[in-house]
Each structure stands twice: as structure tokens, then as C-alpha cells.
Amino acid sequence: MNTFDFPLLSDEKLSLAFKTIKLNTFQSAAYYLRSSTSIDNFLNLVVDDSSQSMTKTSKTHAVLATLAVENQIDEVELMMGIFLIDELTFPELKNYFSDKNYKTIALTTSYLNINGNRFDFSTDASILDRIANKIVREQRMDPHQSKEWKEKIYEDYIQKWLKRNPTIAYSLAQILNDEKNIIELLYNR
């Protein structure tokens, strides 16, 4: 359990939105976002397009990173990580890989780096411990980059991965669709 916390003292729009509903600390905001389905109300204050294609994980961490920026908390960094998975790392995906001509795929996730430690505030069932040694790329990003920029970095990685693995007979679009399906399987168990 992460005990890192700070009071929401800023009068900027996102901090005010949380304080309006009596959430006055980072931890209370994180708990609310983890258990709420109304993240988009807050996300609209962070990014121009709170597209449905963003995962709850990305939305949660973009909002929390913005709270840190608004409150001048430098210890918090929004990160995106690209990590490799297979049925050894996630045995529950054995059936998923059974009809694929690849047995490893790269996925992306977002999380917060706080004082050099990775934290997933979006769920109680974080996968960060399982993927820590499988992360092949980490990149700090600003909250407003949580959608398009993160997607571009991931797509670039996958295009290069497909070039390095010419036996994989899938298009970029098919791999991106597989990524979405796998993320749903992992986070909706």
C-alpha cells in the first residue's frame, strides 16, 4: 500500500473540482478514482479529448499526475511503460495465445513514479509487480500526452517489433486490437 500523500492546496481547476466534493488529499482523490466510473468528468480538465479509447489506468494516472503538477509536487512523475508478456508471465493468457503465431507481445501501461518507485493507483490488482522485469521501455510524459503521444510511442515500438519478427503475420492494426483485448482480459478478471 502506498502511503504517499499531500494536501490539495492549489486553486487550479482540477484541485478545486476534487475539493468541491470534499476530497482534499491526493490519497482521497486516488481512492475516489479507483472506485468511481466518473473519471471522465475529471479527465476533461486534463486533456482536450477524453476519448473512450483511453484505459481507466491511463485516465486515473493522468488525473493524479495533474494534481501533483497543480500542487507543485515534484516527486510524482507520470510514466508510460512498454512491457513484454507471454503465457509464463500471465498463465491466464495461455488460451489467448493458442491461435496466434506469436507467443510474446508488447503492451503498454501507465503508472506514477514516486521517489523512484512505480505505483498503479487505478486498481487494487496492479500488474506492476508481475511486469517489473519485463519492462523494455519507460518514458516520462506530461498528463496531456496520456493518449496520443503514448499511442504513438507504442505504435512505433510495435512497427519495429514486427520488422524484427517477419514471421508474425499480423498487421499493426491487428496487433493494436490484440493489445486492447489482452488489456481487457488482464484488468477485467
Query: For residue 80, what are the contacts with CB-CB under 8 A and spacing of at least 6?
Result: 108, 109, 110, 138, 139, 141, 146, 150, 153, 154
Say how many C-beta atoms besides its own lie within 10 A of residue 168's C-beta.
Answer: 17
Look at residue 45 in the predicted model and tell me its pLDDT. Answer: 66
Look at residue 159 in the predicted model and tell me its pLDDT. Answer: 95
Instruction: Indicate whether 27 pLDDT > 60.
Output: yes
Which has the higher per-residue pLDDT, 59 or 27?
27
Cβ atoms of 68 and 26 closer than 8 Å: yes
Q: What is the pLDDT of residues 46-99, one digit of tens each?
A: 766 555 567 788 889 999 999 999 999 999 999 999 999 999 989 989 888 998
Cβ atoms of 79 and 111 closer than 8 Å: yes
Cβ atoms of 9 and 30 closer than 8 Å: no
Q: What is the pLDDT of residues 7-20, one digit of tens each?
A: 999 999 999 999 99
